[in-house]
A and B are shown apart, each in its own frame.
Chain A
Amino acid sequence: MPINYYIILAVALFSIGVAGVLTRRNAIIIFMCVELMLNAVNLLLVAFSKMHYNNVAAFNPFASIGTDAQVFVFFIMVVAAAEVSVGLAIIVMMYRNIHSVDVNFLNRLKH
């Protein structure tokens, strides 16, 4: 499949994720959108890895081009996991204090 399809799909997913982070009020939804963004990037990395392999595979079926991208995907997944765990912990603390997960309550930076 042409690379363009993957790019458009990833960009769409990423934009949806950004739109969600900017507009949603519920903290958990925002987290889901952040995950969406990270996974969109993952998708893009894998797609490009495959593209680069395809360009070289005709000459050399054992080439290892594009593998670094796939490794990087794992890094991203690890980071995502760590970030979710820390973030959810913060949300739990927040809930315990104000009994709501509405981010508009987080305006203490003003003072």
Chain B
Amino acid sequence: MKSIIDYVYLVPLFPLIGFLINGLGRKQLSKSLSGMIGSGMVLASFVVSALIFNATRAEGDPITVRLFDFIQAGNLNIPFEFLVDRLSALFLMIITGVGFLIHLYSTAYMHEEEPHHFARYFAYLNLFVFSMLLLVLGANYLIMFIGWEGVGLCSYLLIGYWFKNKDYGNAARKAFVMNRIGDLGFLLGLFFIIQQFGSLTYGEVFSQAATMSSGATILTIITLLLFVGATGKSAQIPLYTWLPDAMAGPTPVSALIHAATMVTAGIYMIARSNILYTLAPVSQTVVAVIGLATAILAATIAIKQNDIKKVLAYSTVSQLGYMFLGLGVGAYTGAVFHVMTHAFFKALLFLGAGSVIHAMHHEQDIRKMGGLAKKLPITHITFLIGCIAIAGIPPFSGFFSKDEILIHAYGTNPLLYWIGLGGALLTAFYMFRLYAMTFKGSFRGTHEQEHHLHESPWQMTLPLIVLAFLAAVAGFVGIPELFAHDAHKLEHYLGPVFAESYKVQEAHQIDHSTEYMLLGVSITAILIAIVFAWTRYSKKPETGDATGFGKTLANKWYVDELYEAIISKPLNGLGAISNKFIEKSGIDGIVNGTGKTIQWGSRQLRLLQSGQVGTYVLWMVLGILLFFVLIIFI
């Protein structure tokens, strides 16, 4: 009996068709038509994904759907097959759902583009959704890698969408190259997996891994290498600098790719490979520490940024750090929970920022904004909801997911909790700084801009409302033990996925009184930070550039300059030296030198032809003498 799960191939197929239609027919299609095709395909995928989600709620075991044989080299067999289980079904919903809202939003946001560029935009967007779906649906690491690189490609195409601008092109290249560096680590991890387990299929790898002992070196190596790939894709230290630069692309792109989906690929990968990580505690520690460090670093930078999108970009990097912290302490459900809630409120915030930018006619500097609350009511309210959610105030979703991670972190090591709490305070601070400087206070822009301020059309505000609603209530699928017994629906849903890991992990039980106390401390501290930021920045918004220590923060701790100095310049120098000396004088010199030597030799030899007959006779005599000597003695 065929269930909807057998038709799972439709989910990536629809966006692929949308890509082909919009891509090949972009000169013929009108703007409304290409917009409808692009959005419609993702909507169709969403419908199928919802049906699949429903099916997996009843059926907890993973189901593999094989499409065709892909690579077969000796013992290595990699078929093209999809794995449908609760984890992938959840991600499918997030990707197609949020994706559809962003497609809808884009139809209004990009309306200034010419028709064939408009169609190109939607083609790329559909291609991106296709790649991301491949990533989460793959039943083996290779299909995941195909989607992995595919999203990197689409990120490059979309960041550099306005290709006339050289800086945007540079940002796109930076993103692709940094992703590639991570991909090298990922590939090496894959090769180790092949060598150790003989296959790349999840089922085979995980069942074999489950029999290995905890702390096995090979598992540590594999997980660390896979994590290198994740740092590239999900913008963690040290490969995060591409994400803020990626804000060069259109704002819906930032919302979809760099907030809701692509950057969560790393989280998905680790969540999928959870058994490998649970059996490699060293890697888990590394993941947690790097995640936490990134969270703090990005938060410190965000408090001094003046571009509305850059603040949100660093915020994304920071929140991703929290997700990795969650994975590192074994809170797999918590991390996935945070992925879900983050998708909602971050997409909301980015789309809201887009609405503001649209109203301010492409002004992105918050020092020139202010007092927009009255002119943009829907944007204002939804943005506020997003800020509250990300700050972690109950009952909005961010509170539940972030606290789940932090409580688990406390169970592993209280220090992690306190540092994480510090990061949460910074988050609340910079988000409300952003909110206050944009929406509160008085308007600091030009008169011209003030005249044009108006609320955005329905295609933009409807997604905002939907996302605000989700950001508000999504937390209720994950109510912790503390408040209600056995009410963590998400944990039940994802149970089978992480079952093996939970068997191995020791459960950290924190008694409820400690938990209440920690919750109370965090909520109070966050509220204080919010009030502080709100009042300060409504009354005294920053207008000039930062000074002193603030300047270091505004300049992102000079990390970009550091990378330039230790990687780009030496590489260029090496190339220049190779080009001038090694190639021309060295290797080629030897080759040309051989030729020159032979020419010199023949010139010398030519001198024998002096024309002097006497010399010829002399040589003849010597030759005969030599001949005789040889005959007699040999």
Contact = CB atoms under 8 A, between A and B. Distances in A.
Touching chains A and B, CB distance < 8 Å: yes
Interface of A: 18, 21-22, 103-104, 106-111
A44 to B, nearest CB: 16
A22 B618 contact: yes
Interface stretch (B266-274, B440-448, B607-615): B607-615
Contact of A104 (B612, B617, B618): B612
A110 B612 CA distance: 8
Interface residue tally on B, bucketed by range: under 10
A106 B609 CA distance: 13
Contact of B609 (A21, A104, A110): A110
B410 to A, nearest CB: 100
A22 B611 contact: no
A52 B375 CA distance: 138
Interface in B584-626: 609-614, 617-618, 621
- Chain B facing A: main interface SS: helix
Given A21-B617, A109-B613, A110-B611, 11 more contacts: A22-B614, A22-B617, A22-B618, A103-B613, A103-B614, A106-B611, A106-B613, A107-B612, A107-B613, A108-B611, A110-B609
Contacts of A104: 612, 614
Most buried by A among B610, B613, B621: B613
Given A18-B621, A22-B618, A22-B621, A111 B611 contact: yes
B609 A109 contact: yes
Interface string B551-567: 00000000000000000
Contacts of B614: 22, 103-104
B621 A107 contact: no
Contacts of A103: 613-614
Most buried by B among A21, A22, A104, A106: A22
20 contacts: A18-B621, A22-B614, A22-B617, A22-B621, A103-B613, A103-B614, A104-B612, A104-B614, A106-B611, A106-B612, A106-B613, A107-B610, A107-B611, A107-B613, A109-B609, A109-B613, A110-B609, A110-B610, A110-B611, A111-B611
Nearest to B612: A107
Nearest to A106: B613
Contacts of A21: 617
A106 B613 CA distance: 7
A90 B609 CA distance: 23
Interface of B: 609-614, 617-618, 621
Nearest to B625: A18
A111 B609 CA distance: 9
B628 to A, nearest CB: 13
Contacts of B613: 103, 106-107, 109
**Closest 5 pairs between A and B when the two form their complex, measured CB to CB:** A110-B611, A107-B611, A109-B611, A106-B613, A22-B618
Nearest to A22: B618
A103 B621 CA distance: 18
Most buried by A among B612, B613, B614: B614
Contacts of B618: 22
Contacts of A107: 610-613
Contacts of A18: 621
Contacts of A111: 611
Contacts of A108: 611
A60 to B, nearest CB: 33
A108 B610 CA distance: 9
Nearest to A107: B611
A109 B612 CA distance: 8
A103 B613 CA distance: 8
Nearest to A25: B614
Contacts of B609: 109-110
A109 B609 CA distance: 8
Nearest to B613: A106
A110 B611 CA distance: 4
A111 B606 CA distance: 12
A51 B295 CA distance: 115
A40 B614 CA distance: 21
Nearest to A23: B614
A109 B618 CA distance: 16
Contacts of A22: 614, 617-618, 621
A108 B611 CA distance: 6
B498 to A, nearest CB: 94
